[in-house]
Structure 1
């Protein structure tokens, strides 16, 4: 291996201390310059991306995976816009969460500080390179990136551009570094870089996330895997339900907030499922159903297996289950979901409240698409990921979730008795 992770870690740690001294204005100006540079260098980025896409097609990767790799002018403009949005967000560093004076007259405050050095392991999407850099930088953190081999050339080019901006501004470019090798051996070494990484965030498939959680010695924030459900209640507006399910499945099926499973109350299944199937047929969505769903839909529905209920497809596939009650729907979702995003379509207030209260997930919706679980849609700017765990952060992770706290105590000579 030609990558020296210890040397990279030392450089990142040094850069993180320097970043902590930058003013909000200095960080914002750097982000704006990064955005400008991405657009100025769009042709170079797309040239590198074309090489990655060519390799992906030769490897016969599925279309939904290839879609994640693509960077065109529109997506590059989107990444630049994300950086500008981050520049416009409130800086969490130095914010006081709470403050008080204790019995001894000590002035105690709890303040927001950077996490330090953040490692990101991710697959396919090169936009993560820019989103992660922008968010980590604004929150005062250095970042070490390990993307997938499928986007290696694109990621290296993006980091080269971002680092050049920092260098020109007199900011330590080691605030953002990328691993230029993608071997499993190096990934395992990266996950054990305890002396330098303060936290590790995996973004990608359930397989990747499980591997990181199982092997990492660095603290991990779990993100990403999305076996998301929509439950269509007996009182639902069926036209609205069909529009929401179509959006949640079809708009971008390769992402983690796309809906993979549909539960339908038996009282409306016979009317709703043919309506939905006709709509989904426009996008060639494959339907897999339980016995009741298949009876209603006939040849347009394949029999679902036990494995289907736990599978994140990231593709034009939807599994359907007919349920007899709200309780059955909630029990099924809590048994099979990945704690990401779940939705109910209903006109019954009590049922919506029961769903909101009892579903165990980072984001729970009433009468809306699961596709809204996103840092940008929530107003956080770009996101570092969507946390599906309960410690430190849950849901879309924006700037605040990339900070920790420390206590600042001011005294006048007090000693403890």
Structure 2
């Protein structure tokens, strides 16, 4: 096991990483282009996540710089207690040890998620998808250079070039110590990791997020929030389902406005029985579609009787990620927010804010839909476990 690197060394590596990303910007983008050209799939959201342009490099640099400026998450005192017998007891945060990040298509994860795990004192194992291999290897090369320049072992960041079978074997029988696994990708990847892993897994779950337009909604806000929710279809915080209160005044007119705006943006609009009949839309043939995360230019609009019915519907069908109520009624908003079982609940705001950077964490390792350990965006301060430090002078029980 690697001895914990001092916070000065960890920060110096991150700052050097930011400089190297800037220096190698053109190379990274050119190498990424070979990954993009080689991608032969038809998954548009995968292609979107695979792409590295100037803006993506800027984000990576910002993430590394910001991480270097944050407080050390390791060794933070969480609790202290003086025992009757004179022992001094502390509980402090501690690093996990070795974190494996398994991810699809997103080369920025190689900087952002790895950076968070590194700053919190962990050794990083990276297993990216084959579609982004060249981009990932280039970025890992920069990690190694930054580590070497600070006299730190290259082992702190290791890239695993495994195929699916080798990955499965490694998950079932790791050839080195493994304390935590973070899968970043679709439901198939997460299911695969959960099935085979022999250590804890942080589940970065699916989206399938809902917006509820309450009968006392400000309709301009409703329109903006729904449209913004569809502004990036590859994001797990995108909106897939819209529920409209049947008692909304001018409901028909609002739905028509919404549908026409969505169609302007080439978004396919589906409706439940009522909405499709009233607006000449394609009707859904099975309620199972309410469970589906689209990751596509597609949205489903339905009519709902009440706030309580909405809460029940979201709790049944959503991915446990994000949901939003649009209303001017504070009591209705409070009831919705307290009872909807998603990691983030919004009142008159877009679900697109479920993101570590946007919620003040500076970045995120993943967005967890699990309830244990940490729920929602997992920032630097959450990627730690804890440890008891007990100081005595010969006490026995």
TM-score normalized with structure 2 length: 0.96
SS in 2 for 1:94: coil
1:260, 1:309 → 2: CA distance? 9
Q: Does 1:264 find its partner at 2:264? A: no
Q: Does 1:310 find its partner at 2:286? A: no
1:364, 1:143 → 2: CA distance? 32
Q: Deviations over 1:360-385 (max 9, x none)?
A: 11111111100101011112122110
Which residue is 1:285 aligned to?
267
Which residue is 1:203 aligned to?
184
Deviation of the 1:414 alpha carbon: 1.2
Q: Deviations over 1:31-80 (max 9, x none)?
A: 11101101111122112211110111xx2423222111110122111111
Q: What pairs up with 1:33-182 in 2 under 5 angstroms?
A: 33-56=16-39, 59-181=40-162
Q: 2:312 aligns with which of 331, 348, 351?
A: 331
2:224, 2:354 → 1: CA distance? 17
Q: Deviations over 1:181-234 (max 9, x none)?
A: 3x2111102322455110111111112112211221121111131111111100
2:277, 2:396 → 1: CA distance? 77
Contact kept in structure 2, 1:52 and 1:151, CA below 8 Å: yes
Q: Which runs of 5+ in 2 are unaligned?
A: none
1:60, 1:204 → 2: CA distance? 16
Q: Which moved more, 1:207-216 or 1:380-389?
A: 207-216
Contact kept in structure 2, 1:201 and 1:221, CA below 8 Å: yes
TM-score normalized with structure 1 length: 0.92
Contact kept in structure 1, 2:9 and 2:150, CA below 8 Å: no
Q: 2:165 aligns with which of 174, 185, 188?
A: 185
Which residue is 2:234 aligned to?
254
Contact kept in structure 2, 1:191 and 1:200, CA below 8 Å: no
1:402, 1:366 → 2: CA distance? 28
2:104, 2:272 → 1: CA distance? 32
Which residue is 2:323 aligned to?
342
Deviation of the 1:302 alpha carbon: 4.3
SS in 1 for 2:151: coil
SS in 2 for 1:267: coil
Q: Which runs of 5+ in 1 are unaligned?
A: 1-13
Q: Deviations over 1:213-270 (max 9, x none)?
A: 1221121111131111111100000111000000011x21111011111111012232
SS in 1 for 2:280: helix
Residues 291, 285 of structure 1: CA spacing in aligned structure 2 closer, same or farther, 3 A cutoff? Answer: same
Q: Number of paired residues? A: 394
Tell me the C-alpha RMSD between the 2 structures.
1.3
Contact kept in structure 2, 1:52 and 1:153, CA below 8 Å: yes
Q: Does 1:27 find its partner at 2:10? A: yes
SS in 2 for 1:155: helix
Contact kept in structure 2, 1:274 and 1:296, CA below 8 Å: no
